[in-house]
């Protein structure tokens, strides 16, 4: 990270200093990437340089933190990319993809929210060129981020189209029969769901917070690490302040089945958010739902550069427990993080377990002018909340 | 019986011998062709995931890059996807295809800011998610294989091979002064030295073979090399003997002399020199590759150690020149140039070995060469051992056993100085 930083008191909405920063970033990058002639051009056209930096990124070829080192950070081989189309899901889209299911109201007025999850075996490319035989919910890893509101009645139908028995075990408050635990609730058609069978889990959305669901068939580590997990968010009845919301499921893949992960990531694809930084608006409230489902390693962590965030463990309280820049999570621990980026530029986020970071669990936030970002494609990714709150529309 | 021989006479009775030899070959080729054409009828599809067996043949370090040469040892093609150095993925490029076919090889050039003296664990991730592990015990820059490098390796070969062997040969005058009763002991001493070298080279060959791709033979290469060397030397020996029999005058031996007379001192010395030379080829190989991978610090201590170690080899060469009971006349027939020639034959291959080892080290080739060295030494032992016999024709007597044990002990002790 060689980009010069602004002085804090120069005013973060100061256009001149912002131009200077972006021009500076281009000037640092230019000698390595395109030579001296371009350096002059970049300085004489700060606006264009600024636009290009925003468009093409502050790193990689022509980037702000390239140029000084051939190895600015760990990365995959440069000559190929993951084929997201073939995978059937894209980490950039998955990040802000909340699945609200379908709803109807009971005569009492209570909202019933329903989903169907299909367990299916699927080959996914977990790193460029590396194919993994994953077990998935709805063909993606992590599974859909199920999102409901506190107090609703939830019905989740599991269709097992996999070759193996599976369940969905929700973290939440529910009856034993709805626990997705093999051997329990079989009389009601629950328990272990064999291939070709289906079952509908029914429970109340409680308590509010960020939770998770996963398969609970033994051997557990195998069924989870194969990809059968997802985030489960219950919004408080009164909602949360408007924010740019995103889900980060911290996971990994043991591609050679030696009970140790070869690849670490948030949302499955290692280094994805380095190749495609997460674009956020300067000064905007960013809310991150972080869920750790990593198998085979006892802890995982989340750290962000150049910033601090409010930490809401499990999201079950509306009052943050801490202002920090690093959290540690054991398996199935999760949290809501809230922060605002006061300065433009690229800010890394990664596991502060450096080994995980360098084996894929790293990314960048790209902070820019909200006005520009609103017009960008990124805006199209934002979702609409059925009750009209929570996320920027 | 009669019916069988009758049938044998009928089948191919009118065909020439070469055709009879050819017919089975043609039929085998046709069967293989048909089998391949029909896709192996009855065998069905393979079961289970592809087998991935890849060995790391060579590691080359230059500032900022690590080069790995991978050889596919398994039956299925392997596609290289990613590389991590010390648990950090690193960008890399490949020379040639990412996919390595059966017995094919590829070289990965990994961008990584390695630091001198640190250890590195590398894993290569294949497209199927398998891993290939490589270890760099101590990172050091691989020397450029330019002219000065070859010069350095040559100097190394001369230091550890030619000079000490030649120095060892300076014991010749001393040995000539020894009484004839000591001849058997001297030869036994040489046999002891050679036996130790053979065991040492054999074990080293097996150690290297363990790292070599199994598809190329692995440890069997050591034995194949040994057997081949033994047989070739035996054939040469028989050929020379046959020639000497036909031209007794040219060989300088009296007509009708016993075969023992056909292996006089100089000839035995030459055999010992060849055996030791082949051994030193392997030794040079080990030194060269160890130097190139940074596992060997070229200290004065090591060079001195090798010099002392190999001086004993010179002693082994000149021991047969002590000659028969007539005060070493055969040895006297050898001039200084011939003695130097023997030293070069025994020590020179160390130079060649160092060149090969440092620039194009290949574990399979190295294992084979070590085996060749072992076979040559064993053949030499077999040939010179009869000279240990005492007056009663006994091979093992207190003097010869003492000599052998001394030879083994001497190489063992000097070998402690040169553990690479």
What is the pLDDT averaged over residues B188-215? 86
- pTM attached to this predicted model: 0.74
DSSP string covering A61-121: TT-SS-SS-S-SS----TT----HHHHT--HHHHHT-EE--EEEE-TTS-EEEEEEEEEEE
Considering CB atoms only, which of B81, B88, B91 is closest to A127? B81
Q: In whole angstroms, what is the distance from residue A32 CA to residue A2 CA?
A: 13
Question: For residue A135, what are the contacts with CB-CB under 8 A and spacing of at least 6?
Answer: A119, A120, A121, A122, A162, A164, A166, A215, A223, A226, A227, A228
Considering CB atoms only, which of B90, B127, B130 is closest to A74? B90
Q: In whole angstroms, what is the distance from residue B282 CA to residue B232 CA?
A: 18
Range with top average pLDDT, A31-35, B179-183, B208-212: B208-212
Q: Could you report the per-residue pLDDT of A171-225, keeping only the tens digit for each?
A: 999 999 999 999 998 888 889 999 999 999 999 999 999 999 999 999 999 999 9
Q: What is the pLDDT of residue B400?
A: 87
Using a CB-CB distance cutoff of 8 angstroms, which residues of chain A are in contact with residue B66? none
Of B257, B222, B186, nearest to B369 by C-alpha is B222
Higher pLDDT, B9 or B400: B400
Using a CB-CB distance cutoff of 8 angstroms, which residues of chain B are in contact with residue A127? 81-82, 89, 125
Q: How many residues belong to chain A? A: 393
Q: What is the pLDDT of residue A393?
A: 31
Q: In whole angstroms, what is the distance from residue A364 CA to residue A58 CA?
A: 10
Tell whether B48 is within 8 A of chain A (Cβ): no
Nearest residue in B to A70, CA atom: B111
User: The tokens of A225 are what?
Assistant: 């690490």
| pLDDT band (50, 70, 90) for residue B44 | low
Q: What is the pLDDT of residue A348?
A: 95
Nearest residue in A to B109, CA atom: A77
Nearest residue in B to A134, CA atom: B129
A170 to chain B nearest CA, in Å? 30
What is the pLDDT averaged over residues B333-340? 76
Please, what sign has the CA dihedral across residues B170, B174, B177, B182? negative
Lowest-confidence region among A52-56, A87-91, B131-135, B410-414: A52-56
Higher pLDDT, A383 or B162: B162
Tell whether A69 is within 8 A of chain B (Cβ): yes
What is the pLDDT averaged over residues B390-405? 86
Residue A386 has pLDDT above 50, yes or no: no
Mutate to test the interface with A, among B82, B91, B95, B97 (most CBs of A within 10 A): B82
Q: What is the pLDDT of residue B300?
A: 61
Higher pLDDT, A356 or B187: A356
What is the pLDDT averaged over residues B72-99? 90
Q: What is the pLDDT of residue B177?
A: 82
Question: For residue B330, what are the contacts with CB-CB under 8 A and spacing of at least 6?
Answer: B264, B265, B266, B321, B323, B324
- Number of Cβ atoms within 10 Å of the Cβ of B383: 19
Higher pLDDT, A330 or B255: A330
Q: What is the pLDDT of residue A286?
A: 97
A180 to chain B nearest CA, in Å? 30
Q: What is the pLDDT of residue B295?
A: 58
Considering CB atoms only, which of A70, A74, A130 is closest to B125? A130
Q: In whole angstroms, what is the distance from residue B401 CA to residue B396 CA?
A: 6
Considering CB atoms only, which of B91, B126, B127 is closest to A77? B91
B289 to chain A nearest CA, in Å? 29
Using a CB-CB distance cutoff of 8 angstroms, which residues of chain A are in contact with residue B130? 255-256
**Residues B322 and B176 sit within 8 Å (Cβ to Cβ):** yes
φ, ψ for residue B199, nearest 5 deg:
-65, -45
Considering CB atoms only, which of A128, A130, A358 is closest to B129? A130
Using a CB-CB distance cutoff of 8 angstroms, which residues of chain A are in contact with residue B90? 71, 74-75
**Residues B322 and B122 sit within 8 Å (Cβ to Cβ):** no
Considering CB atoms only, which of B82, B90, B111 is closest to A130? B82
Question: For residue A109, what are the contacts with CB-CB under 8 A and spacing of at least 6?
Answer: none
Quick one: B419 exposed, middle or buried, by C-beta within 10 A (0-12, 13-18, 19+)? exposed
Mutate to test the interface with A, among B81, B92, B109, B127 (most CBs of A within 10 A): B81
Lowest-confidence region among A40-44, A160-164, A249-253, B74-78: A40-44
What is the pLDDT averaged over residues B354-380? 84
B124 to chain A nearest CA, in Å? 10
Of A75, A54, A96, A103, nearest to A233 by C-alpha is A96
Residue A8 has pLDDT above 70, yes or no: no
| pLDDT band (50, 70, 90) for residue A290 | very high
What is the pLDDT averaged over residues A352-367? 94
Q: Could you report the per-residue pLDDT of A20-38, keeping only the tens digit for each?
A: 333 333 333 333 333 333 3
Please, what sign has the CA dihedral across residues A132, A135, A136, A142? negative
Residue B407 has pLDDT above 50, yes or no: yes
Using a CB-CB distance cutoff of 8 angstroms, which residues of chain A are in contact with residue B112? 71
What is the pLDDT averaged over residues A125-132? 94
Higher pLDDT, A275 or A153: A153
Nearest residue in B to A126, CA atom: B129
Residue B65 has pLDDT above 80, yes or no: yes
Q: In whole angstroms, what is the distance from residue A185 CA to residue A180 CA?
A: 8
Using a CB-CB distance cutoff of 8 angstroms, which residues of chain A are in contact with residue B125? 127, 130, 255, 262-263
Tell whether A383 is within 8 A of chain B (Cβ): no
Q: What is the pLDDT of residue A60?
A: 37
- Please judge whether A255 and B125 are an interchain contact, meaning their C-beta atoms are less than 8 angstroms apart: yes
- Please judge whether B92 and A271 are an interchain contact, meaning their C-beta atoms are less than 8 angstroms apart: no
What is the pLDDT averaged over residues A235-249? 95
- Please judge whether B89 and A360 are an interchain contact, meaning their C-beta atoms are less than 8 angstroms apart: yes
How do strand A345-350 and strand A299-304 relate by DSSP bridges? antiparallel
- Number of Cβ atoms within 10 Å of the Cβ of B76: 14
A237 to chain B nearest CA, in Å? 44
Residue B82 has pLDDT above 80, yes or no: yes
Of A229, A349, A352, A211, nearest to A293 by C-alpha is A229
**Residues B109 and B147 sit within 8 Å (Cβ to Cβ):** no
Q: In whole angstroms, what is the distance from residue B353 CA to residue B368 CA?
A: 13
A13 to chain B nearest CA, in Å? 38
What is the pLDDT averaged over residues A149-175? 96
Residue B262 has pLDDT above 50, yes or no: no
Residue A16 has pLDDT above 70, yes or no: no
Tell whether B93 is within 8 A of chain A (Cβ): yes
- Please judge whether B113 and A132 are an interchain contact, meaning their C-beta atoms are less than 8 angstroms apart: no
The ipTM is: 0.75
What is the pLDDT averaged over residues B387-400? 83
Q: What is the pLDDT of residue A51?
A: 37
- Please judge whether A262 and B90 are an interchain contact, meaning their C-beta atoms are less than 8 angstroms apart: no
Q: What is the pLDDT of residue A368?
A: 85
Query: Under DSSP, is residue A173 helix (H, G, I), strand (E, B) or coil?
Result: coil
Tell whether A9 is within 8 A of chain B (Cβ): no
B67 to chain A nearest CA, in Å? 14
Query: Under DSSP, is residue A229 helix (H, G, I), strand (E, B) or coil?
Result: strand
| pLDDT band (50, 70, 90) for residue B334 | low
Residue B191 has pLDDT above 90, yes or no: no
């Amino acid at each position: 990270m060689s980009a010069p930083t602004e002085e804090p008191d120069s005013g973060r909405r100061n256009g001149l200093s912002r131009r200077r920063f972006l021009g500076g970033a281009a000037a640092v990058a230019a000698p390595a990437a395109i030579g001296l002639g371009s350096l002059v051009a970049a300085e004489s056209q700060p606006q264009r340089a600024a636009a290009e930096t925003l468009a093409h990124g502050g790193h990689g070829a022509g980037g702000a933190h390239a140029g000084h080192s051939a190895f600015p950070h760990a990365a995959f081989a440069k000559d190929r990319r993951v084929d997201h189309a073939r995978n059937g899901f894209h980490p950039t889209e998955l990040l802000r993809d909340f699945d609200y299911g379908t709803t109807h109201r009971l005569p009492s007025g209570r909202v019933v929210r329903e989903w169907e999850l299909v367990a299916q075996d699927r080959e996914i490319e977990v790193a460029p060129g590396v194919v993994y035989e994953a077990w998935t919910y709805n063909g993606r890893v992590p599974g859909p981020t199920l999102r409901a509101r506190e107090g609703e009645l939830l019905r989740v139908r599991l269709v097992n189209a996999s070759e193996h028995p599976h369940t969905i075990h929700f973290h939440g408050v529910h009856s034993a029969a709805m626990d997705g635990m093999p051997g329990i609730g079989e009389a009601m058609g629950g328990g272990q769901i064999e291939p070709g069978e289906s079952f509908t889990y029914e429970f109340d959305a409680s308590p509010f917070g960020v939770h998770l669901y996963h398969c609970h068939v033994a051997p557990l580590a195998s069924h989870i690490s194969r990809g059968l997990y997802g985030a489960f968010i219950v919004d408080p009845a009164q909602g949360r302040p408007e924010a740019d919301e995103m889900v980060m499921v911290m996971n990994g893949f043991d591609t050679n089945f030696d009970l140790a992960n070869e690849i670490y990531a948030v949302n499955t694809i290692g280094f994805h958010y380095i190749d495609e930084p997460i674009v956020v608006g300067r000064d905007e409230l960013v809310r991150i739902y972080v869920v750790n489902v990593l198998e085979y390693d006892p802890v995982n962590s989340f750290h962000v550069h150049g910033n601090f965030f409010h930490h809401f463990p499990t999201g079950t309280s509306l009052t943050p427990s801490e202002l920090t820049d690093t959290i540690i999570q054991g398996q199935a621990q999760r949290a809501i993080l809230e922060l605002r980026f006061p300065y433009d530029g690229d800010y890394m986020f990664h596991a502060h377990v450096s080994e995980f970071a360098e084996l894929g669990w790293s990314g960048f936030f790209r902070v820019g002018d909200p006005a520009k970002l609103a017009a960008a494609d990124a805006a199209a990714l934002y979702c609409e909340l059925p009750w009209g709150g929570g996320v920027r529309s | 019986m009669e019916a069988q021989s009758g049938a044998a006479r009928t089948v191919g009775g009118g065909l020439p011998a070469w055709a009879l030899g050819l017919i089975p070959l043609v039929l085998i080729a046709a069967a293989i062709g048909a089998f391949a054409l029909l896709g192996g009828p009855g065998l069905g599809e393979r079961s289970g995931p592809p087998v991935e067996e890849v060995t790391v043949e060579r590691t080359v370090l230059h500032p900022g890059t690590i080069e790995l040469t991978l050889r596919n040892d398994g039956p299925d093609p392997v596609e290289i996807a990613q590389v991590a150095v010390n648990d950090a993925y690193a960008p890399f490029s490949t020379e040639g295809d990412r996919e390595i076919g059966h017995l094919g090889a590829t070289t990965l050039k990994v961008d990584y800011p390695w630091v001198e003296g640190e250890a590195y664990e590398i894993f290569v991730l294949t497209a199927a998610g398998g891993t290939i592990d490589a270890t760099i015990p101590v990172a050091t820059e691989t020397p450029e294989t330019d002219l000065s490098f070859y010069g350095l390796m040559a100097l190394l070969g001369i230091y550890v091979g030619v000079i000490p062997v030649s120095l060892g040969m300076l014991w010749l005058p001393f040995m000539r002064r020894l009484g004839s009763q000591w001849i058997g002991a001297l030869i036994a001493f040489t046999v002891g030295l050679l036996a130790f070298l053979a065991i040492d080279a054999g074990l080293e060959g097996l150690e290297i073979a363990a790292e070599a791709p199994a598809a190329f033979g692995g440890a069997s290469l050591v034995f194949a090399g040994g057997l081949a060397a033994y047989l070739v030397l035996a054939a040469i020996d028989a050929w020379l003997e046959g020639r000497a029999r036909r031209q007794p005058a040219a060989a300088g031996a009296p007509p009708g002399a016993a075969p023992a007379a056909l292996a006089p001192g100089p000839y035995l010395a030459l055999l010992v020199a060849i055996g030791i030379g082949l051994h030193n080829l392997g030794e040079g190989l080990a030194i060269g590759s160890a130097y190139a991978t940074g596992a060997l610090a070229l200290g004065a201590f090591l060079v001195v150690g090798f010099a002392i170690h190999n001086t004993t080899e010179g002693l082994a060469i000149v021991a047969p020149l002590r000659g028969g009971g007539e005060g070493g006349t055969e040895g006297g027939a050898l001039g200084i140039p011939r003695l130097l020639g023997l030293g070069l034959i025994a020590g020179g291959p160390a130079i060649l070995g160092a060149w090969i080892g440092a620039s194009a080290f290949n574990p399979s080739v190295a294992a084979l060469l070590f085996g060749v060295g072992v076979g040559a030494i064993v053949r030499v032992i077999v040939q010179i051992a009869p000279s240990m016999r005492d007056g009663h024709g006994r091979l093992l007597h207190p003097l010869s056993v003492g000599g052998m044990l001394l030879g083994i002990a001497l190489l063992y002790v000097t070998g402690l100085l040169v553990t690479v």
